Structure 1
């Protein structure tokens, strides 16, 4: 969303590079924590829920709530380690835990709304969670210098998340999903944990890249270089916000449905639509961002960002490759072919670590963004080859045929 770019861009002007770097560490660590709290259980729930009628879905949500509560009791105390180890200053601990809870709950509610064919409401929830509050926060920071603090930013983030959560819960309440009085099905939960745990390991690996990169870059080049990195990757990651909200959330449920109905031709058409829209948006974003970065940095007026500007083309390339990699990813996911996803993500962490370690002595700050390009190019190639190998008929015109089990 444009708000992500706006937020990072104006934080780069209104906060110190060091504060921007801390904001990047907080954002990355919160994002990584969501996977520990959610256990990637939605990957199991999504496919299961589409098999049920609306009046049967309440028990499934009750089961999911039970496992989340258990995970909260285990994971939240463990997260305090990051403060005891001095990775993030203690003064941000309250904001951290509040935002972890709000981000996880709104994320799960948004995913649920998409699954039950409520993409418009899900988009509004996402807009409240990530889209609108940065505009208000930035406006007040521009108008009132006293608001130009990281605490103010984290407070605005919390308000946006709370409003998004209220809307999402209200929509679910109005849908009157049935079977809420059914007992919690622990066997169903255990089966789901077995399935989602394998995907979780893969997810933690790929998200580990997006968390380790910031800590590693700080170690290589310092907190001010990290501030520049956070600015550049914030701009690049805005692409994923456009893709998630405008393309993926609308198309991939249809791909899952087509596969479950054994309609190969519809599945192929949905995949083509996903690929075309992703390529157009990604290509356009790349060109605009590449051309606009120099005027943007000139307006910011901070030499530290221009000093590290050579990181930006690498970061922009990496985020573009990451977006393109979601084309085969969603196809494999809809088909229930999880192994290629798991293997590519597990191997990607190794690619990133080896690449950064090998390049850090010669390229210093550039080692991280160059390794990101190699990592996401590897993932794109791995998933694409897997998809073509599993279903070559998707890539040639063919009459509608049933999908073989």
Structure 2
């Protein structure tokens, strides 16, 4: 029995899954550690500045990447090694042009006071290393270097947090936002170097005769266009509230809100990693027929109800004791804001079910419409509620936007599933045969 168990554990797929789970868990745990670390070591005002920088980084990464990976990843899979080098080089050219535009925007933001001048250079450094490491991870995954991708992810978002935590505890002079940004950029640079070493087997010598394929780049931008709108709508749901809090409440209030929202974004990321496991099965179920499609969606819904409900319950119960344990009094006084954010977290996680159901059914326009509608609700409700209720209004706005997203996606997905079930078996077979995955 023991020999058989060892043989199972030594299988490549089992080893890969185990290593990936450990690395993913360590990376997610580092996000929670970073939130506690910053709350302990920095003032609420500095925490607020960190929240504003991370929000601007999120939008900066969007502008820098332009969701171009949604096009290049499909191109990389069937490409020969020489063509892969060409694709990566073209993506670097596009990113360089985007970075030049962002740099100008960042300078303007610094002059307007939106971004501290002292952090401007570090902001740009973190932006470029974060984007490069993220794109490198995607390339590693699509070229079947999964373990290397998770190692790069740990270098990018995990190991530097643990090292910085030890340094801050040992040396008080390192407890500054600038030091966080320096180490953040260092982690991204380390991940890029590691990824480059993993990709050295590609024929980079062809790069000497490289000429940008502008037609190919423009075709990719047209393909990525709808994904851009969906992505920016999702960013609005997660980060737009920080700008309203900074304008109407101030940096101290933004710091408290950033602390809680950072933890919830980490939990949302964990929920997303659970959802991703169901996506291939939902796509296969849709291709197999109405009954299989319905069964996997029901299983997905039940699984997410349990996972999301459990995570929200555990988080809600443990947050108060954790704040007392780490003596975070300023944050404990506003814990009611955290509880207002929990329903929104639950519904955002649950919204993956109708979202994936619509994705499998190729209802891309419906997905886009729902995300834009939810983003509009987030903007309008923040404008109305934040000046009245402060950070509590931002929490309510996030919950209202999540309710809108879930109901909109749920209503359309329910209609699509009903219509799909009402078709005859012959029609379903013809329809599914036209899908190319």
TM-score surpassing 0.5? yes
- 1:241, CA displacement in angstroms? 3.1
Q: Distance in 2 between matches of 1:67 and 1:156?
A: 26
> TM-score normalised to the size of structure 1?
0.86
Query: Could you say which residue in structure 2 is the equivalent of 1:311?
Result: 337
2:249 is equivalent to residue 205 of structure 1: no
Q: Distance in 2 between matches of 1:65 and 1:49?
A: 14
- Secondary structure at 2:390 match in 1: helix
Query: Could you say which residue in structure 2 is the equivalent of 1:189?
Result: 217
Q: Which moved more, 1:334-343 or 1:153-162?
A: 334-343
Q: Distance in 2 between matches of 1:134 and 1:388?
A: 43
Query: Could you say which residue in structure 2 is the equivalent of 1:28?
Result: 55
* Residues 322-371 of structure 1: per-residue CA shift (max 9 Å, x gap): 23323433454455532122212222221012222333454232111111
Q: Distance in 1 between matches of 2:145 and 2:300?
A: 19
Which of 233, 236, 241 is the matching residue for 2:264? 236
Query: Could you say which residue in structure 2 is the equivalent of 1:323?
Result: 349
Which of 2, 26, 29 is the matching residue for 1:2? 29
- Secondary structure at 2:255 match in 1: helix
Q: Distance in 1 between matches of 2:80 and 2:305?
A: 35
Matched residues, number: 401
> TM-score normalised to the size of structure 2?
0.81
- 1:227, CA displacement in angstroms? 1.2
Highest CA radius of gyration, 1 or 2? 2
- Secondary structure at 1:173 match in 2: coil
Query: Could you say which residue in structure 2 is the equivalent of 1:106?
Result: 133
2:169 is equivalent to residue 119 of structure 1: no
Q: How does 1:323-362 map to 2 (within 5 A)?
A: 323-333=349-359, 336-360=362-386, 362=388
Gaps of 5+ in 2: 1-27
Query: Could you say which residue in structure 1 is the equivalent of 2:400?
Result: 374
- 1:25, CA displacement in angstroms? 0.9
* Residues 226-269 of structure 1: per-residue CA shift (max 9 Å, x gap): 1111111111111133235x4356554x469859x955688778
Query: Could you say which residue in structure 2 is the equivalent of 1:76?
Result: 103
Query: Could you say which residue in structure 2 is the equivalent of 1:140?
Result: 167
Alignment root-mean-square deviation, CA: 3.2
Q: Which moved more, 1:308-317 or 1:98-107?
A: 308-317
Q: Distance in 1 between matches of 2:362 and 2:140?
A: 21
Which of 43, 55, 79 is the matching residue for 1:16? 43
Q: Distance in 2 between matches of 1:58 and 1:168?
A: 14
Gaps of 5+ in 1: none
Which of 33, 36, 40 is the matching residue for 2:67? 40
* Residues 84-133 of structure 1: per-residue CA shift (max 9 Å, x gap): 11012111111100000011111112223333444333222222111221
- 1:152, CA displacement in angstroms? 1.7
